[in-house]
Structure 1
Amino acid sequence: MNVDKAKKRIAKQVKKGFKGYPQISLAYFGKTADCATEVVVTFTAEEGAEPQEQRFSSENDVRNDESIQSVLLKIIERADANSVVEVDGVSLIK
């Protein structure tokens, strides 16, 4: 899938806001605020449930990596997530 198409579909899900559980959270991390080299996907099945976490990393910006963005979209679809939350910006890795 085209990276722009995947990013738009993810953004559309994020824009809907919180609609209940199951919930997927996306957080980006990198050594600088301009380049996210890692994304953490957190799945929460229901309120109070133990969240499950998965990490993906790349040498380049994961936000522009076609395969990683496609995988994120597939995770959202297969989890049948009612809510998708994206943490703004890139958190710095020390």
Structure 2
Amino acid sequence: MNLDKSTKRIAKRVKKGFQGYPQISLSYFGESVNCATNVVVGFVQEEGAAVQEQTFSSENDARKDETIQTTLLKIIERAEAKTVSEVPGVAVIK
């Protein structure tokens, strides 16, 4: 799957807002606000459950990495997530 297709499909799921559980959250981190080198995927099965997290890293911007974006989409689909949320922007890590 190409980059445009996967990012559009993720954005479409994010726009829907809260639809219930299971829920997946996406957070981007990097050394500057212009380049996200890490993505943290949080998964919550049901309300009150502990968050399970998985981190993906890239040498370049993870938001423009076709492999990472396709993997994120597959995780969302396989988890049958009803809600997908994304933290806006890139959090700077030092």
TM-score bucket (shorter structure): over 0.9
How far apart are the structure 2 equivalents of 1:2 and 1:81? 21
Matching residue of 1:21: 21
Matching residue of 1:44: 44
Matching residue of 1:76: 76
Paired residues, number? 94
Q: Give every structure 1 segment of 4 or more consecutive aligned residues whose post-TM-superposition deviation is greater than 2 Å.
A: none
Letter of the structure 1 residue corresponding to residue 50 of structure 2: E
State the TM-score, normalized to the length of structure 2.
0.99
Letter of the structure 2 residue corresponding to residue 11 of structure 1: A
How far apart are the structure 2 equivalents of 1:70 and 1:11? 13
In structure 1, stretches of 5+ residues that fail to align are none
Matching residue of 1:63: 63
Return the offset for 1:50.
Answer: 0.8
Aligned alpha-carbon RMSD (Å): 0.3
In structure 2, stretches of 5+ residues that fail to align are none
State the TM-score, normalized to the length of structure 1.
0.99
Letter of the structure 2 residue corresponding to residue 45 of structure 1: Q
Identity fraction in percent = 69
3-state SS of 2:81 partner: coil
- Deviation by residue 1:40-72 (Cα, 9 ceiling, x = unmatched): 000000000011000000000000000000000
